[in-house]
Amino acid sequence: MKYLAARGIARTRAVLYSAPFLAAVLPWALITGLFSGAGPAPAQDSSATIRRLVEEKRIINAHEHVQGEENTATLLEEMDALGVAKTVLVGSPWFTISLYERAGFTRYDENNDAILAMAKAHPERFEAWPTVNPTDPAKLEKVRKMVGEGATGVKLYLGHGYTSRENRYIFHPVAMDDPGMMPLYAYLAEAHIPICFHVNPAKPGFLDEFVQVLKANPDLKVNTPHYFMSSMVHARLREMLRTFPNLYVDISFGHDDYLKSGLQRVSADRDAFRALFQEFPERFMFGTDYVVTSLRPKDHAWYRDRTQAYLDMLATEQYKTPLLPDLPLRGLGLSPDLLENILYRNYERFQQLKPENTRIEPGLDWSQLRVRMDNRAPGQALPPPERRRR
């Protein structure tokens, strides 16, 4: 049940035809059914759907980072090999690219320029969603300018709960519902420009901040990555999707540690995940969040193995991955229609959507959100929880 193998082997890189490569791959391929299709069959003919979408290059990646224009050729090559028609490039600070904490929220303007240039040079393959600093008094003007230069969305790191060694938020200098942010949300809602809004709902006050933003801007289109960071709290995700019609999520898990634990989580709780996808068939989008850089070179096998794991997780009943070589995993075995929704249709609908007078469902049930209601004033940002001292 390996959909990317044929495309990967057909690539022109000589390494893929080398004896060392074949010696390393073929034994594993024969065991897992890379070429034969052996192994437990999915609930429906999902494997054929995936193969077709890969061959036709129909997949849309709704969430990716790139260091700069120097990575364009690599990214396009991987997209071609993995069946990805289009990738959404989100603006990235240097911390995201380098994982160097002291870099913090810097060099994002440089990255914005890079992704805008990539989208202009390859408009059929890339979309640019630049970012802005929430404390910048000119942020609305900057966003307007970047939209005029081709931006089709905005990436915001407000709500990102990463804390530094000094126990301070790097990405959350003001509350999401800070009065200074409201004109930006109003503009984006009126212009039907979506936000990729990285929110950690478990941090003090964050969920209330986010809910207030959505209530004040019901027509705002939002993608909250990583299952709204609620893949362990389905009741929260279900309640948010039920209440806010223009809220979407992407299925990326991010860094390898999170990806591996996420694959295991889906495997262990397959029926609950499957029910969630089936209940909201038009609200989940494919995304990877690999972070394409020159600092940490990643070869084709690296990208293929991770993309394959995502596709197997969605399409198969059982699979194996080199990311977790000793663990047989259970996949969701989703229907062909649902797979097509997740892999490209939902993103197309999301971008084409022009909400007006959206009705938010009444009675948000905070007991389902599994987060304590913090006593905060509107627009107030609460500090991070104190670190436990040993």
Spatial distance between the Cα atoms of 118 and 305, rounded to a whole number of angstroms:
25
SS3 231: coil
Q: CB-based burial of residue 13 (10 Å sphere; 0-12 exposed, 13-18 middle, 19+ buried)? A: middle
pLDDT tens per residue, range 20-39: 333 333 333 323 333 334 33
Task: Measure the CA–CA gap between 54 and 307, rounded to whole angstroms.
Answer: 11
More confident residue, 42 or 147: 147
> Which H/E stretch holds residue 63?
strand 59-64
Model pLDDT for residues 59-98, shown as the tens digit of each residue:
999 999 999 999 999 999 999 999 999 999 999 999 999 9
Q: How many CB atoms lie within 10 A of CB 4?
A: 22
pLDDT in tens, 100-133: 898 999 999 999 999 999 999 999 999 999 999 9
182-191 and 139-148 helices cross at what angle (nearest 10)? Answer: 20
Q: Would you list the DSSP string of 248-309?
A: EEE----SHHHHHHHHHHHHHTHHHHHHHHHHSTTSEE------B-SSS---HHHHHHHHHH
Report the first-to-last Cα separation within the chain, whole angstroms.
48
Sequence letter at residue 389: R
Residue 294 has pLDDT above 50, yes or no: yes
Give the model's pLDDT for residue 296: 77
What average pLDDT does range 282-295 have in this prediction?
A: 95
Strand partners, 197: 156
Contacts of 378 (CB under 8 A, 6+ apart): 177, 212
pLDDT tops 90 at residue 41: no
Q: Over 70: is that where the pLDDT of 254 sits? A: yes
| Percent of the chain predicted with pLDDT > 70 | 88
Give the HSE-up count for residue 107: Cα atoms under 13 Å, Cβ half-sphere: 16
pLDDT at 7 (0 to 100): 54
